[in-house]
């Protein structure tokens, strides 16, 4: 609590003779607001909310060493990010306490950014004292370098901006003198004045060529070293030829083109600057994803096994280990994937799933890194370390996809590699033909330079990657993680879409609707054995059964899952148990009499999924599960049919049950039933062999073979890790409308790429002949060149305006 001087404080005498002091009238009125509103409990609850039992946050000064700057012999400067600051009083408290320390010369805390800057004399005070003063006050110091994200593109943008700034400043001056020179050309100008002006433009153009133009020069050298010719060579040659020729012209008293050489660089830099601004914006969206994990270092509260003793420590998130117990407070981001071991809270998973309704998580539920805790305090046990947690995986996948060598891009790159030398050739030809025809060296050089500059295929170079980058970011924001960038192009020609049934088209939340026992087995007995086995399975049937059964579970000696059929296992009391469909029973020689088969048929015609339980070779029971089709499937199927897709449904479930459950869409799709996962994959492969590329959409349980076999495999919902691993894209929510949105996005992305390429090509086709025939001055060429890049950039940005639904 803050110390307040009695003589300046506001005092209130209580009826029981006690006294309360307030630092200011603000706090006083807040107290009354709380008390008079009958909310006094707030003060009790608060104890639990604010760390309370936490002894002290432990911070190692190692983490901060990299941020220290030396100001002079006696002064060091350290920026620190201070977490847990809540109001201006916190700032006051921190600033006052730190500035009182012997050796501290200066301290300021920024209210908006929570960044503190401290100057101190390291011979009088050590870093640890400063840090522990902050932690003693109840705040948490975090290295500022690790709390902010710098990006390379930001650097690139700044670089272009400075270079462009310098270039445009000098070009402006050059223009003034050039206008004077041009004017003199028509009105007569004294030779001395002309020489002086020419010399000044030479001086002004030089920094533009050698400083602002340096990136083009360096890139040209790099590409020559690699024995390739890139587009920067054209810019470099164009500006450098114009510049060198002008030096020659200056001495021989001819017209100079310093203005052109500088302007080429200025305009191209402007284009590059705009381009990298857009790229930066796109990558900020990526950073937004990254900022779900806002601090790479955070205060972590560890607990004992008994979940009682809390210690706070500052850790790099990278250092969290599987098994660590971590408190996640309200408003905080979950640092790593884990399981809730204490508390209940609403978690906002929108950044993963695109779905805005928070999900309630309680003991036993999984929480994912990057999601936000929005209501209460929970304790989680880390299931994964940071690197293998969801957010890191997603970011890794998207970055990989964005770097994908798109097929169109490969073709374009090939064109560029032929294009550049051809342009250099055309430009030489232009020079020689002009020189041969007119004998005018100057005019020939200028036309050749025009060809070089106008043909730079920058627009071609960015047409595909930029659209791809923007599109994958839009997808990510809507809960679609594109892992393989190539599919954006592949999906274009595909007509056949396969869907898994359970969990994909249906809710996949199986509830038990009927249980029957046979051969004098007790129902509870049957269920307890079935549940003991299902505990080891991920299948929706397993979840349904375990939600229902609350009794004791037996330990299992051996366990085997037979995909698409069920499971088998042996218990410690040596009972062999089978839980699964009729195929599993048949395969293992379990006899099913007439009565059992009739009962099964009856239940299946009601749309129930039926599993049998066999104990020691004898049929013991039958369990019926009810599943519902998702409400919007009919609507989505109709839309897909209208778009001309052929739809197929693959399921391991029985024919009867499937047709009843899917009754409202059974005519929209071709349905294959009673398949094992491998048979599903086989059907998909057969289609591909017939030259019919296809998409498979599955929830991931048992679907890995199909996801892998399909031309484009999409995992939907938080399916099994194996399927996510093998898929080309993951839809993080379980709504198949997201899949439809994705198809729309893909279509629009392809359209954008096509129009981008169109603009980039058409421009060259029209402009090169114009330049070669002497119709375009180099300055105008440079202008057009930039405009073509900007058109492509703007066209790609149009993707962002596009609404997915
Ligand atoms: P779908 O193709 O509809 O998604 P699956 O291939 O996952 O279905 O499963 C097909 C059938 O295999 C289920 O309907 C069920 O009868 C049986 N089965 C699969 N896994 C299990 C399991 N863990 N326990 C019991 N039965 C199972
Ligand atoms: Mg399934």
| pLDDT (0 to 100) of residue 46 | 42
| pLDDT (0 to 100) of residue 15 | 63
Q: Is 171 exposed, middle or buried (0-12, 13-18, 19+ CB in 10 A)?
A: buried
| pLDDT (0 to 100) of residue 578 | 96
| pLDDT (0 to 100) of residue 79 | 85
For residue 656, which ligand has an atom nearest its CA? 1
For ligand 1, residues with CB inside 6 Å are 500-502, 534, 537, 539, 541-542, 564-567, 579-581, 609, 611, 651-653, 677, 701-702
User: What SS3 class is residue 707?
Assistant: helix
Q: To which residue do tokens 């293998």 refer?
A: 388
For residue 136, report the phi and psi dihedrals to the nearest 5 degrees: -65, -30
| Closest to 783 in 3D by CA, of 269, 419, 401, 158 | 269
Alpha carbon of 537 to ligand 1 centroid (Å): 11
Residue 500 annotated in active site? yes
| Closest to 259 in 3D by CA, of 779, 771, 786 | 779
Atom index in ligand 1 nearest the CA of residue 537 equals 23
| Residues of the chain falling short of pLDDT 70 | 1-58, 84-88, 111-113, 144-155, 184-186, 278-312, 314-315, 351-356, 398-410, 413, 456-458, 700-701, 718-724, 803-805
Cβ-based neighbours of 601, under 8 Å, separated by 6 or more: 656
Alpha carbon of 652 to ligand 1 centroid (Å): 6
Out of 623, 652, 734, give the residue to mutate to test ligand 1, the one with the largest number of ligand atoms within 8 Å of its CB: 652
Protein residues placing their CB within 5 Å of the ion ligand 2? 500, 502-503, 701
| pLDDT (0 to 100) of residue 215 | 86
Alpha carbon of 733 to ligand 1 centroid (Å): 22
| pLDDT (0 to 100) of residue 53 | 36
| pLDDT (0 to 100) of residue 782 | 72
pTM: 0.68
Alpha carbon of 542 to ligand 1 centroid (Å): 9
DSSP E strand stretches across 180-309: 297-303
pLDDT tens digits along 745-782: 999 999 998 998 888 888 888 888 998 898 887 777 77
Atom index in ligand 1 nearest the CA of residue 701 equals 7
| pLDDT (0 to 100) of residue 49 | 38
Residue in 500, 627, 653, 728 annotated catalytic:
500
For residue 622, which ligand has an atom nearest its CA? 1
| pLDDT (0 to 100) of residue 2 | 47
* Interior/surface letters 615-652, b for 16+ CB within 10 angstroms, e for the rest: beeebbbbbbbbbebbeebeebbeebeeeebbbbbbbb
Count other Cβ atoms within 10 Å, centred on residue 691.
6
| pLDDT (0 to 100) of residue 47 | 38
Out of 564, 621, 654, 682, give the residue to mutate to test ligand 1, the one with the largest number of ligand atoms within 8 Å of its CB: 564
Alpha carbon of 502 to ligand 1 centroid (Å): 9
């Amino acid at each position: 609590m803050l110390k307040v001087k009695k003589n300046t404080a506001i005092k209130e005498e209580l009826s029981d003779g006690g006294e309360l002091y307030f630092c200011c009238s603000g706090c006083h009125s807040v107290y009354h607001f709380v008390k008079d509103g009958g909310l006094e409990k707030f003060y009790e609850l608060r104890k639990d909310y604010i760390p309370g039992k936490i002894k002290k946050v432990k911070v190692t000064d190692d983490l901060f060493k990299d941020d220290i700057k030396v100001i002079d012999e006696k002064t060091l400067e350290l920026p620190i990010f201070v977490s847990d600051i809540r109001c201006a009083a916190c700032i006051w408290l921190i600033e006052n306490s730190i500035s009182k320390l012997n050796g501290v010369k200066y301290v300021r805390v920024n209210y908006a950014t929570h960044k503190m800057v401290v100057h101190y004399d390291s011979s009088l005070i050590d870093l640890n004292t400063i840090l522990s003063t902050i932690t003693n006050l109840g705040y948490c110091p975090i290295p500022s370098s690790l709390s902010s994200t710098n990006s390379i593109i930001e650097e690139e943008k700044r670089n272009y901006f400075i270079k462009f700034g310098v270039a445009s400043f000098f070009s402006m001056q050059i223009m003034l003198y050039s206008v004077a020179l041009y004017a003199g050309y028509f009105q007569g100008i004294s030779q001395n004045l002309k020489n002086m002006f020419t010399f000044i433009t030479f001086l002004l153009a030089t920094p533009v060529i050698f400083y602002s133009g340096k990136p083009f020069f360096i890139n040209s050298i790099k590409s020559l070293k690699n024995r390739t010719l890139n587009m920067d060579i054209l810019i470099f040659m164009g500006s450098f030829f114009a510049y060198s020729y002008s030096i020659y012209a200056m001495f021989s008293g001819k017209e100079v083109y310093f203005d052109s050489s500088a302007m080429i660089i200025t305009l191209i830099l402007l284009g590059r600057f705009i381009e990298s601004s857009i790229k930066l914006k796109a990558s900020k969206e990526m950073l937004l994803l990254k900022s779900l994990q806002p601090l790479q270092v955070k205060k972590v509260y560890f607990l004992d096994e008994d979940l009682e003793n809390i210690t706070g420590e500052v850790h790099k998130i990278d250092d969290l280990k599987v098994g660590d117990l971590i408190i996640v407070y309200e408003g905080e981001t979950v640092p790593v994937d884990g399981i809730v071991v204490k508390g209940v809270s609403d978690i906002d998973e929108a950044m993963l799933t695109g779905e805005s309704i928070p999900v309630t998580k309680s003991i036993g539920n999984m929480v994912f890194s990057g999601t936000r805790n929005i209501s209460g305090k929970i304790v989680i046990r880390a299931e994964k370390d940071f690197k293998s947690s969801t957010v890191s995986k997603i970011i890794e996948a998207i970055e990989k996809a964005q770097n994908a060598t798109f097929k169109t891009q490969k073709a374009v790159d090939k064109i560029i590699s032929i294009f550049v030398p051809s342009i250099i050739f055309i430009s030489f030809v232009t020079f020689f033909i002009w020189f041969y025809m007119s004998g005018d060296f100057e005019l020939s050089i200028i036309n050749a330079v025009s060809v070089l500059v106008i043909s730079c295929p920058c627009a071609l170079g960015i047409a595909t990657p930029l659209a791809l980058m923007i599109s994958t970011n839009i997808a990510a924001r809507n809960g679609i993680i594109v892992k393989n960038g190539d599919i954006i192009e592949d999906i274009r020609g595909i007509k056949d879409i396969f869907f898994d049934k359970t969990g994909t088209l249906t809710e996949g939340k199986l509830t038990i609707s009927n249980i029957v026992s046979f051969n004098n087995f007790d129902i509870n007995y049957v269920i307890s054995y079935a549940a003991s086995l299902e505990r080891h399975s991920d299948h929706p049937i397993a979840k349904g059964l375990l939600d229902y059964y609350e009794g004791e579970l037996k330990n299992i000696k051996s366990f085997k899952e037979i995909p698409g059929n069920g499971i088998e296992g042996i218990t410690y009391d040596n009972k062999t148990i089978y839980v699964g469909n009729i195929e599993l029973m048949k395969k293992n020689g379990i006899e099913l009499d007439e009565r059992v088969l009739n009962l099964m048929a009856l239940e299946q015609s009601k749309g129930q999924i039926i599993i049998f339980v066999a104990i020691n070779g004898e049929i013991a029971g039958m369990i019926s599960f009810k599943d519902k089709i998702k409400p919007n499937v009919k609507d989505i199927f109709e839309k897909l049919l209208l778009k001309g897709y052929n739809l197929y449904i693959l399921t391991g479930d029985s024919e009867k049950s499937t047709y009843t459950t899917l009754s409202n869409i059974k005519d929209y799709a071709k349905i294959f039933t009673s398949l094992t996962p491998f048979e599903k994959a086989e059907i998909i492969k057969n289609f591909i062999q017939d030259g019919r590329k296809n998409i498979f959409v599955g929830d991931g349980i048992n679907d890995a073979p199909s996801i892998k076999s399909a031309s484009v495999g999409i995992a939907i919902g938080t399916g099994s890790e194996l399927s996510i691993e093998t898929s080309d894209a993951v839809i993080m929510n379980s709504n198949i409308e997201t899949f439809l949105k994705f198809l729309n996005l893909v279509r629009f992305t392809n359209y954008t790429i096509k129009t981008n390429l169109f603009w980039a090509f058409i421009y060259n086709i029209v402009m090169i002949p114009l330049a070669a025939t002497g119709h375009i001055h180099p300055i105008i060429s440079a202008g057009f060149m930039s405009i073509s890049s900007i058109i492509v950039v703007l066209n790609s940005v149009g993707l962002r305006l596009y609404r997915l639904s």
